[in-house]
């Protein structure tokens, strides 16, 4: 992506990958705020993010944890109800829910989502997860489909959401191997037109095709900064084949201190306190059920569950985020070590630098 193309873009959208689950996101016992998963903490972070000019908040959906000394993600807030509560206490920031296709019926998800969009006057979005972790679903008696069928069902799920949100209520019908909708009716329909933004994070060819055809954003996991270009180019070209535009978001773990040495030392503290049992359980699930993180090292898992480490001084962090923007990312879901404190610091210390670089151009919710 060249400089002229950058000039035509809307600027880097700033989001936070919220700690709505315990011990997130570094798989380590080194965590300055061990109870930041609570709603009281999430509300405080959300209000700070809104004040600092962030555009959106994004949760992870988990039904049980991964064990270990940290009980990694053992406590979690369900994301439809979590979003409802945060949307009710914020004014401008967008809040997403993460929905597992094997658990939710699309008509129920459409009704809940339309309600959330109504509550917020158009500030809600949905992240669709096809389902990869059998550990979550075994306790429900839900069997995961083979990979190709999984994304075929996800495509149907999204098509039904869109149909219920846009068709004349009571007229939408859909028939597939997984769903049958007869005279589908959702009222009120969403405030956002044609519908709230839809996100998917799959990385396989099947998943990227679904995103290109049906989604508004893709959530990418580049193994390095420079690997970003290939991934954003691929999804942009796939979407163009369907005469569509899909925006790309990445997930960096951002850590900055007065000096690069101090930042690296803090990163080392996280790695040295790795929860090896939880890490093994997490990685085993990914290795068996997902191809999203095949190139990731143990350190990247420990630091942020596979997030891309962006470490250094404030200036170095801003420069690296600017590079991600140049390489095609339209948004970032930031992971912090101390979510509240770092949200406030990011707004004061890094957002001004990004504005000076003309990377952040608008602070309105996207």
Give 110-145 pLDDT, tens digit per residue.
999 999 999 999 999 999 998 877 778 888 898 888
Residue 363 in domain: no
Q: Which two tokens stand for residue 205?
A: 């060819």
What average pLDDT does range 53-64 have in this prediction? Answer: 95
Q: Check residues 42 and 363 and name the one with the higher pLDDT.
A: 42
Residue 365 in domain: no
Name the burial class of residue 173, with classes exposed (0-12), middle (13-18) and buried (19+) by CB atoms within 10 angstroms of its CB.
exposed
Q: Give the pLDDT score at 132.
A: 73
DSSP 70: T
Give the whole-angstrom CA distance, residue 172 versus residue 168.
Answer: 7
Q: Check residues 366 and 142 and name the one with the higher pLDDT.
A: 142
Q: Give the pLDDT score at 7.
A: 54
Q: Give the pLDDT score at 105.
A: 97
Query: How many domains, in total, are found in the chain?
Result: 1
Residue 65 in domain: yes
Residue 7, C-beta contacts closer than 8 angstroms, at least 6 positions apart: none
Q: What is the CATH number of the domain that holds 179?
A: 3.20.20.30
* Percent of the chain clearing pLDDT 90 (strictly above): 81
Residue 228 in domain: yes
**Mean pLDDT in the chain?**
92
Quickly list H helices, the chain: 3-7, 39-52, 79-89, 106-120, 134-138, 147-166, 205-214, 228-241, 260-272, 276-289, 298-304, 314-326, 339-349, 351-356
* 3 state SS of 133: coil
Q: Does 8 score more than 80 pLDDT?
A: no
Q: Give the pLDDT score at 366.
A: 36
Domain encompassing residue 316? 3-356
Residue 174 in domain: yes
Which of 113, 109, 176, 104 is CA-nearest to residue 140? 104
Residue 347 in domain: yes
Residue 364 in domain: no
Residue 366 in domain: no
Q: pTM value?
A: 0.93
Give residue-wise pLDDT tens across range 239-290.
Answer: 999 999 999 999 999 999 999 999 999 999 999 999 999 988 887 766 543 3
Give the whole-angstrom CA distance, residue 185 versus residue 4.
Answer: 45
Give the whole-angstrom CA distance, residue 303 versus residue 169.
Answer: 47
Q: Give the pLDDT score at 292.
A: 44
């Amino acid at each position: 992506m060249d400089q002229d193309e950058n000039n035509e873009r809307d600027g880097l959208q700033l989001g936070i990958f919220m700690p709505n689950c315990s011990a997130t996101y570094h798989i380590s016992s080194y965590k300055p705020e061990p109870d930041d998963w609570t709603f009281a903490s999430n509300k405080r972070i959300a209000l700070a993010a809104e004040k600092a000019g962030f555009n959106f908040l994004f949760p992870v959906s988990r039904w049980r944890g991964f064990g270990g000394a940290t009980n990694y993600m053992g406590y979690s807030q369900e994301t439809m109800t979590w979003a409802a509560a945060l949307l009710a206490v914020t004014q401008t920031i967008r809040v997403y829910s993460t929905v597992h296709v094997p658990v939710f019926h699309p008509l129920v998800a459409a009704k809940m989502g339309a309600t959330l969009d109504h509550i917020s006057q158009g500030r809600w979005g949905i992240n669709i997860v096809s389902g990869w972790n059998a550990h979550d679903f075994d306790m429900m008696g839900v069997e995961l489909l083979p990979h190709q069928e999984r994304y075929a069902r996800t495509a149907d799920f999204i098509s039904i959401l869109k149909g219920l949100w846009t068709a004349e209520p009571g007229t939408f019908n859909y028939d597939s191997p997984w769903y049958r909708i007869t005279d589908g009716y959702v009222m009120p329909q969403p405030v956002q037109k044609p519908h709230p933004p839809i996100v998917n994070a799959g990385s396989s060819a099947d998943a990227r095709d679904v995103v290109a055809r049906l989604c508004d954003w893709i959530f990418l996991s580049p193994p390095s900064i420079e690997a970003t270009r290939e991934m954003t180019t691929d999804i942009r070209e796939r979407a163009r084949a369907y005469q569509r535009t899909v925006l790309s978001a990445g997930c960096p773990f951002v850590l900055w201190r007065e000096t690069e040495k101090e930042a690296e030392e803090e990163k080392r503290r996280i790695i040295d306190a790795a929860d090896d049992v939880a890490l093994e359980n997490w990685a085993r699930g990914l290795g068996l059920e997902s191809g999203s993180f095949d190139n990731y090292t143990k350190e990247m898992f420990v630091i942020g569950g596979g997030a891309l480490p962006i470490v250094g001084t404030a200036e170095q962090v801003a420069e690296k985020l600017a590079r991600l923007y140049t390489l095609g990312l339209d948004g970032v879901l930031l992971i912090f070590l101390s979510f509240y404190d770092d949200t406030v610091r990011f707004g004061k210390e890094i957002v001004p630098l990004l504005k000076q670089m003309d990377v952040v151009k608008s602070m309105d919710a996207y």
